[in-house]
Amino acid sequence: MTTIALAGNPNSGKTTLFNELTGARQHVGNYPGVTVELKEGTFSHRGTPIHVVDLPGIYSITAYSLEEIVTRNYLVREKPEVVIDIIDASNIERHLYLMIQLLEMGVPLCGAMNMMDVASNRGITIHPERLSELLGIPIMPTVARTGKGVEELLDAALSVKDNPPPQPLRLNYGQDIDRALDRMEDRIKGHAMLEDRYDPRWFSLKYLEQDEQIKEYCAKQAPEVAKAFDEAYQQLLRHLESTLNTYPEALIADQRYGYIKSLVSHGIVNYATNQSKLYISDKIDLVLTNRFLGPLFMVVILMLLYKVTFTYSEIPVGWFESFFGWMGSTAEKFLPEGPLRSMIVSGVIDGMGGVMGFVPLILFMFFGISFLEDSGYLARMAFMLDRVFRVFGLHGSSVMPFIISGGIAGGCAVPGVMASRTIKSRKERLATILTVPIMNCGAKLPIFAILVGTFFSQARGEMLLIITFISWIGALGTAKFLRMTVIRGETTPFVMELPPYRIPTLKGLFIHTWERTWQYIKKAGTVILGISILVWAMMTYPLLSPEKEALFETERQEILATYALPDSSRALNYEIPTKELTPEEEKLRKDLFALEGLRAETALENSVAGRIGKGIEKITRWAGFDWRTNIALVGGVAAKEVIVSTLGTAYSLGETDPEAPDSLSKVLKRSKEWSPLKAFSVILFVIFYAPCFVTLVCIAKEAGSWKWALFALLFNTFLAFLLSLGVFQLGTLLNLGI
């Protein structure tokens, strides 16, 4: 098996080539401790089995971004037999910058001069064979979108493998730097720890570029060498500052670009037309990023994405729901009543249903996002909105996760957190991941609807608008707070490319969409299943004592005896609609239903969740929450939809259908424990408190550690409680809403 790694700038067509080579036979590789994904796949070329790895897109080989570190570590540690560097022919100078650095590393390299069609449309003639001669490596023309030239590229790549390993490229960096490099190289030779892993010249060069990773490695392996190198660097720095008013890093980059300029001027590129003329892509930008039209189009595009995903995903979501509903009732039919049945129906099947219910949503959402990303529009959105998001310590690219999570009410934080992957700056990404769950997802809406409908019925629309505002301000404000405290630090430079607009390939769209969805199913499916069983157990155990159960049974028999109907089975058969019952039967059903509700309430109160709810009532009552509300909110951590149904159970209503919450609304209205002030306090709490478990699992995955999921759980709940407490106490003081 020959291993080929694909390297290149973002937007070079690298992923398109990877998809072309592997098709669906690809997966995310397992490299421990790496949060940036390395995709890999296998295929065979003219009988040779090939293992191909798609390295993250990078512009340079420094140690600043995670992508660069991952790429570099892969190249140094895994030593792939061939590296294919993909160059965009229509943008050759900047792409050569990476190639030069790969050559300096001395990796076995083969070049793919990609997007030859785009270049020739722009009147640019490229001669890859001349570049190939000058650099001494094969460089093949390709059009990855259509697969043109790919066979020849692979032939060339395999020939690289058979040649002796190449000598690292040595650029002339000017007398001062070259002399320093010579001395440093001599110093490294004979130092096994340094020499084995890195090429000495390259190691020295990186040291002069003040590469953190290299410096750290050197200080650890050979402290005395590091000391000498630091001195050499300081000396060089002083010298360059006084003579040329520059510093080593800058001079090295200048020289690389100087070398590229001389390469390109050797008849590699011919421009037929004036290069400053507007291409189609630029013309589209005149409209789509226009000061006035741009934001307008953005709103329209976002609304469209939203409408399409949430409207059309409802249909398959419905299928999933009916399927799991059917599974539940089938299980009920075939399993004997008891804890096993209860666990399978309420724990396993409901839990799985909850997880799988998100699948169509993620599928649709990521198809839309992949389209926007691959077409180049996502970068424009970041460009237009960066000014706003930067105020809160975020990045322009944060807009997508925010919108998806519920920027327009009814989103979902699960795809929202997953979409944060498009943010390349680490701190900004983390702040986004942690704050998007504050947005109003679709599952929070039923509880808002009930409370607003019950206590603020005159100002329904206004209240929902206020809730949306609170969540936006709350999420952005929290982001700002986090960036000033826990995730403190310099703003990551924006410096972002606006790639030309391209029509995404269907193959790419399908692969990206499926990949995200499958990851979700795998990860969430296993963890959530366990958690939903745990939550079920918390709300079920300990069971009511046999004496209590006996009491309920006695009462039941008494009711049945009071009515003394000849055939009471009709009243007990819920498949017969109420309309078809006699008045007597209807009353019996109502009484039995009320008794069953009371039993469920008592059972819930007796369960672990109920005890927790009661136990924390002493504290939560300061924010206005009684134990019933507490249980519902605890249940809401499993999934926000559960809040309404649990509240129903806690108020002896049996399972309340979130779609038809009339009875719950009436109970709340009558209850002395509830007031508009308490309702508002609860609404505020629901906006801010812990994300649901599915979201927490996604946070752990995207942030790279369970630590952050735990942080979201505790911090958000604490924050929410503080806000509710403040509002409730202030409101009580001012005598509001009582």
Partner 1 sequence: MPIIAMRNMKDNQKGIIRAIRAQGELGRRIRDMGLVPGTEIYIQGRAPLYDPVALRLRGFTLTLRNSEADHIDVEVDEL
714 touches partner 1 by CB under 8 A:
no
Distance CA 669, CA 386 (A): 45
Using CB under 8 A as the binding rule, whether residue 498 contacts partner 1 is answered as: yes
Please report whether residue 31 would count as binding partner 1 according to CB under 8 A.
no
Q: Is 94 in the site for partner 1 (CB under 8 A)?
A: yes
276 contacts partner 1 (rule: CB under 8 A): yes
Here the tokens at position 464 are 């929902």
**CA-to-CA distance for 227 and 151, rounded, in angstroms?**
50
Q: Does 13 bind partner 1 (CB under 8 A)?
A: no
Q: Phi/psi at 60 (nearest 5 deg)?
A: -160, 165
Give whichever of 292 and 574 is closer to partner 1, judged by the CB atom.
292
Q: Taking the chain, what is the end-to-end CA distance rounded to the nearest angstrom?
A: 75
Measured distance CA(640)–CA(683) in Å, rounded: 12
| 385 close to 399: Cβ distance less than 8 angstroms | yes
What is the rounded distance in angstroms from the CA atom of residue 526 to the CA atom of residue 519? Answer: 11
Cβ distance to partner 1 smaller for residue 94 or 548: 94
Among 31, 64, 552, 711, binds partner 1 (CB under 8 A): 64
Q: Least CB distance from residue 215 to partner 1, whole Å?
A: 14
Select 461 or 493, whichever has its Cβ closest to partner 1.
493
Interface map 187-226 toward partner 1 (x if CB under 8 A): ----------------------x-----------------
DSSP string, 110-144: EEEEE-HHHHHHTTEEE-HHHHHHHHTS-EEE-BT
What single-letter DSSP state applies at residue 581?
A: S
Please, what is the minimum distance in Å from the beta carbon of residue 303 to partner 1?
18
Q: Is 398 in the site for partner 1 (CB under 8 A)?
A: no
Which of 26, 91, 420, 454 binds partner 1 (CB under 8 A)? It is: 91
Per CB under 8 A, 614 contacts partner 1: no
Q: 676, 456 in Cβ contact below 8 A?
A: yes
Q: Which residue of 12, 71, 289, 630 would you call a contact of partner 1, by CB under 8 A?
A: 289
Other CB atoms within 10 A of residue 696 CB: 24
Position 497 contacts partner 1 (CB under 8 A): yes
The yes or no reply on residue 90 touching partner 1 (CB under 8 A) is yes
Distance between CA 506 and CA 664 in Å, rounded?
Answer: 48
Indicate whether 388 belongs to the interface with partner 1 (CB under 8 A): yes
Which tokens sit at 53?
Answer: 């790895």
Is residue 297 within the footprint of partner 1 (CB under 8 A)?
A: no
Helix (H, G, I), strand (E, B) or coil at 271: strand
Using CA atoms, how far apart are residues 81 and 85, in angstroms rounded to an integer?
13
- The reply on whether position 486 binds partner 1 by CB under 8 A is no
What's the rounded Cα separation, in Å, for the pair 74 and 256?
23
Binds partner 1 by CB under 8 A, chosen from 121, 262, 275, 562: 275
Nearer to partner 1, 92 or 709 (CB): 92
Site string for partner 1, 230-269 (x = CB under 8 A): -----------------x-xx--xx--x------------
**Using rule CB under 8 A, residue 495 touches partner 1:** yes
Size of the site for partner 1 (CB under 8 A): 44
| CA separation for the pair 687, 475 (Å, rounded) | 10
Question: Does residue 277 bind partner 1 (CB under 8 A)?
Answer: no
Per the CB < 8 A criterion, the answer to whether 362 and 381 are in contact is: no
Q: Binding to partner 1 by residue 384, rule CB under 8 A?
A: yes
If one asks whether residue 618 binds partner 1 (CB under 8 A), the answer comes out as: no
What are the tokens at 242? Answer: 């006084």
Q: Which is nearer to partner 1, 149 or 500 (CB)?
A: 500
Among candidates 474, 378, 480, 374, which has minimal Cα distance to 428?
480
Task: Single out the residue of 282, 553, 558, 662 in contact with partner 1 (rule: CB under 8 A).
Answer: 282
Find the shortest distance in angstroms from Cβ 391 to partner 1.
10
Backbone angles phi, psi at 38, to 5 degrees: -115, 115
- Torsions phi, psi of 106, nearest 5? 80, 25
Select 249 or 591, whichever has its Cβ closest to partner 1: 249
Applying CB under 8 A, the residues found at the interface with partner 1 are 59-60, 62, 64, 90-94, 97, 209, 247, 249-250, 253-254, 257, 275-276, 282, 285, 289, 291-292, 294-295, 383-388, 390, 396, 490, 492-500
